[in-house]
Structure 1
């Protein structure tokens, strides 16, 4: 069997000048094996497919009808020819034992040829097999991939999405996916925003249209109107939250930040992610921003995006820098802390580090140490 795989793979690789589709066609004709008698499925899964004994015992129950290795041999040769490693093949078979029963010429090869015609390379097709599993055996795979390639812009982006959720390949494009995309466009999301949403929440495109509309209504209910730049984040935030959980989180925010009803409404509408951020994460930021930085609850509510930044990597180090500069008369005391927090690290260094290096030569070094969680002596204020 291993000699067969080697021969198939060598046959493919020796034709690098041929098109991907023609290489796949050669793979079909090469995937042939003898048909001996006395076939022990569990032993085959262990010795030939690389499954562990427990995996093989479980998988063999779904392959009780196999009487010879003819089909499995052809499937393994096909997968090896695409470039899947032994570990990848073992993982695929353990997850979907019936993949070994697929017909290479009638099912697997046509899908591979179709994907190659869309421009996917053999390694990309192999990656798609690993990610999609049993869905690779669906006849709709090629048409679905064709649609998603255009939507996500590249095979690399598509594979990123499929890594988080291969359900996209088995969902009905006409009845589910396309109507959902159209609805999200009606909500003011551009295709690039929908693509970003799909990378983090791929199931959203395949949710029932009714559920997606209910989520949009919930996003509007927390104060983020359709067409708003924050609507995508609002959808992500409410995706897994019931009305009861949202109400409980609102009460928590009011308690921790001492916000009024109107203030918590402003905070949530401007940073919907606070609804799904851990309580410990938010509590630590409240303690720091109120106790150390001295910010008022209203100030934080109106700039609630500040709660989404790293405490150790951004909020605390930049506070130290600004405090040091102000105490040495290098910055006005009314200089906005929020303005220093929201800029990129490159811009922060340009505006708040480099201009003062002659006066405070250790500033850059101390800031770098603070970003790593250290507290340099110069930042230990009394």
Structure 2
């Protein structure tokens, strides 16, 4: 037996592996010496002597020659310096972008060293300048997709950028598309980008409309557009929906139009048969979009929340036809709003269905603060006590302040401060039990406001 050192090259690393080989089998034959010419009888005599026991198996050890390594902090600083010097990034922006690029580099099997980064990045900047990109546009492009600096020109960037320019996209359009779709340049030109744009142009009718869609569509829908988009649009047209209406509502159809056609067909049937939303309804696309995003089990669970507040099936269908996207809220959000409107304010089911704006707004940030102001003004006789809350919720912030805050600041000191400080603080306000009367609710609200004012201006 003999020990042999074999040099091995593996991914650029020089390794030496120490392996035990039998001399007679695999080890190289020893060089001939004078002793090898001894008489045959001597050799036979030596062979009859007892041979020593074989040595124990030798463990395999692997050693790696140490070489220079490029640490991640150094790589980040090199990238940051390049961004500042070449593209006039601020130090803060350069550090953020270089950190993102470093994280992306760590996920790669073959990493780009500092020298290669400088060389590739300079080539990319020079290429973009030749295509007419200005420095602010390149800054925005690199901020949205830092790994563009490591792309090859001939095989990756040039064919895709040229294709966009041939379509009629301006350099600013390309920057906007890449900013909205951070990974679009990662897709293959012939496998994804070109078929996607052709499918969009078939439906949208013009490059301008295609560009509008690409700036707003989510990138994860892109691989599905060539396969399903045109076929699903044809199915909707067969239901009697005009193509102009589809184009106008295209952004409510991102998820539905990228579903498998048989899946979309089932969803359309469910919206019409189970929830009474016809394809001619303005809420049809919202209903289809919702049913694409949540499964039937989730929807049934939310229906049980409505049932716990006394709603029947027909009430839920009426609400779904009016505001289907309300069913997309979490169960906790739905329960909190129904508890506030029905148990605390005493609204019945039909009133809530007729005023769907009650369900749109944030309970903590909009509903509770405005209800609090109206309750204070109503208790002091400054506004009509029967003023509907849904009217106040539909106002813009400036209009609400102008109509219900500013005219009464003399009559109600610190009314504006009470309103502002009540935003997001509904949880700390002590409310009576749901069974209390509306008068006791108003009294408790006034006490809570007075206590809050004393705490703020003590």
Bin for the TM-score computed over the shorter chain: 0.5 to 0.7
Residue of structure 2 aligned with 1:77, choices 123, 128, 148: 123
Partner of 1:353: 405
Q: Which has the higher contact order (CA 8 A, sep 6+)?
A: 1
* Structure 1 position 132, deviation (Å): 1.4
Partner of 2:341: 289
Query: Higher helix share goes to which structure?
Result: 1
Change (3 A) 1:360 1:54: closer
Deviations, residues 87-123 of structure 1 (Å, cap 9, x unaligned) = 9444997xxxxxx6x7x44664232112123223163
Query: Higher strand share goes to which structure?
Result: 2
**Structure 2 stretches lacking a partner, 5+ long:** 1-77, 89-100, 129-137, 430-444, 451-458
CA distance in 1, matches of 2:105, 2:279: 54
CA distance in 2, matches of 1:348, 1:159: 34
* Structure 1 position 157, deviation (Å): 5.7
Question: Does 129-138 or 291-300 show the bigger shift?
Answer: 129-138
Partner of 1:380: 448
State yes or no: 1:109 paired with 2:155.
Answer: no
Q: TM-score by structure 2 length?
A: 0.56
Change (3 A) 1:203 1:271: closer
Deviations, residues 17-60 of structure 1 (Å, cap 9, x unaligned) = xxxxxxxxxxxxxxxxxxxxxxxxxxxxxxxx856785233x68
Rg larger in structure: 2
CA distance in 2, matches of 1:237, 1:283: 19
Partner of 1:237: 290
**Structure 1 stretches lacking a partner, 5+ long:** 14-48, 61-68, 94-99
3-state DSSP class of the match of 2:422? helix
**Kept in 1: contact 2:252–2:289 (CA 8 A):** yes
Alignment of 1:15-34 (within 5 A): none
**Kept in 2: contact 1:254–1:260 (CA 8 A):** yes
State yes or no: 1:132 paired with 2:187.
Answer: no
Change (3 A) 1:191 1:347: farther
Partner of 1:119: 169
3-state DSSP class of the match of 2:280? coil
3-state DSSP class of the match of 1:371? coil
Q: TM-score by structure 1 length?
A: 0.66
3-state DSSP class of the match of 2:382? coil
CA distance in 2, matches of 1:287, 1:358: 34
State yes or no: 1:158 paired with 2:214.
Answer: yes
CA distance in 1, matches of 2:143, 2:407: 57
- Pairs aligned (count): 316
CA distance in 2, matches of 1:76, 1:85: 13
Partner of 1:208: 260
* Structure 1 position 281, deviation (Å): 0.9
